[in-house]
Structure 1
């Protein structure tokens, strides 16, 4: 239950309210007899950002005076999983400064990087009163399985929120990781990051486990109860600590961070159902909290393939069977279970 005080308190004190179309690991369940495909790899030659010339103009004069004046842009977007051949809805949150001043009713442009590494202009829309915007990526742009980078760009100043659409085949296997106290050494690490600007300490050998599963063709899914404003720093942390590229999902509200069944538990259950409806086979899961255990059980992940660290290790949820207690990753990385 530490996350309540850690996240809410830390955010209050701080004043806070890949490559396109590289092959997504489409290793199917072992029952179909197919060998795992190569894990996703980034194409180093792809341009990182679309060419965009900000206009310097805004719909509202107050934007420059009351919003941009608050400080640097702190925009964010979560990754999306979608069935190949289906459209994808992407969402972004646009704020400025440590106080998280929302960018309201201003124009945002959506760009998607296609399988030829070309950035395509898709659509334009205006942020709502809370600084959120949502736009659809048509199926014609993401028809083949792969990773499609997207950027949501502010017309006025060119600042942007970045994410990835994962277009997946049905049965694509995935490994799910919680982040705090699962890949980091404790929930208190998020407070050190927000308040003290400290880099969270990683659990030893956790990155080796993630890389080993990725090498077997599983798509890493980093499902964290961290709020949206920590999305960019979470991506940076994962990359800098040697974790393989994968789908990153954060909450869209601070309330969803609460360590309760109605808070982070409900958020994770909904996210896992979203991933399953896109076609992901959630084969393996790692966590540390009772909300992780119950969310994984509700998603139908085998408790024998659910690995839990910390004081709740080995516990089950609502008669679904006990999980596997994991004292650490060192030995586990050398002997992963057989799928």
Structure 2
């Protein structure tokens, strides 16, 4: 009996983690008007301090995502997280104050192997539905590769430096920040310029 009870906390933790382990990606709808704008956010290492810290949140990450949501951008959460840990993403976002958005995760072994191809495929589907991917945030080279594949210019790609690392990972990005608070003023200016561009079109 003692052996069984000694393992109970481990089994309980696994049960909590695996509660609805896999997550079904949100459907991708037609843009409400042509050229509606969306902004894409990786989660692990971008909204969290590093890829392995999936229960932690970067300071000011939620408020910065809200900045885009409040300016009318659709929010896309695009994560390559393993199936076993996908189920906790919606509650983690809600509990940490992130705005509503569409969540997309790998749904096949192929998606789980080639993260850049998976993310590019999802973003291409948005583009085919009339959405313009206005900006992308990430921490990994596969994020930046995916953004480049869908035509996002480096000037609209923002890299987050992982906790414990000395620099951002390589890729087609123009800006590297070690925290969300460090880029707040820059992003406010970026949004103003992007909104002016939208007005002039």
Q: TM-score, normalised to structure 2's length?
A: 0.76
Q: 1:170: Cα distance to partner? A: 2.3
Q: 1:255: Cα distance to partner? A: 5.0
Aligned length, in residue pairs: 171
**Residue 188 (str. 1) matches residue 52 (str. 2):** yes
Q: 1:277: Cα distance to partner? A: 0.7
Partner residue in 1 for 2:97: 242
Question: Which of the numbers 210, 214, 217 marks the counterpart of 2:69?
Answer: 214
Q: Say which structure is richer in strand.
A: 1
Q: TM-score, normalised to structure 1's length?
A: 0.46
Aligned residues of 2:19 and 2:87 also touching (Cα < 8 A):
no
Q: 1:76: Cα distance to partner? A: 3.4
After superposition, the Cα gap between the structure-2 partners of 1:82 and 1:228, relative to the gap in structure 1 and judged at 3 Å, is: farther
CA deviation vs aligned residue, 1:4-53 (integer Å, no higher than 9, x gap): xxxxxxxxxx69xxxxxxxxxxxxxxxxxxxxxxxxxxxxxxxxxxxxxx
Aligned residues of 2:40 and 2:135 also touching (Cα < 8 A):
yes
- Ranked by relative contact order (alpha carbons within 8 Å, sequence separation 6 or more), the top structure is 2
Structure 1: gaps (5+ residues): 1-13, 16-70, 84-166, 191-199
Q: 1:201: Cα distance to partner? A: 0.6
**Residue 233 (str. 1) matches residue 88 (str. 2):** yes
Partner residue in 2 for 1:162: none
Rg larger in 1 or in 2?
Answer: 1
Q: Secondary structure, in 3 states, of the residue corresponding to 1:295?
A: helix
**Residue 169 (str. 1) matches residue 40 (str. 2):** no
Q: 1:73: Cα distance to partner? A: 5.9
After superposition, the Cα gap between the structure-2 partners of 1:216 and 1:75, relative to the gap in structure 1 and judged at 3 Å, is: same
Aligned residues of 2:24 and 2:107 also touching (Cα < 8 A):
no
C-alpha separation in 2, matches of 1:314 and 1:227: 21
Structure 2: gaps (5+ residues): 1-13, 195-201
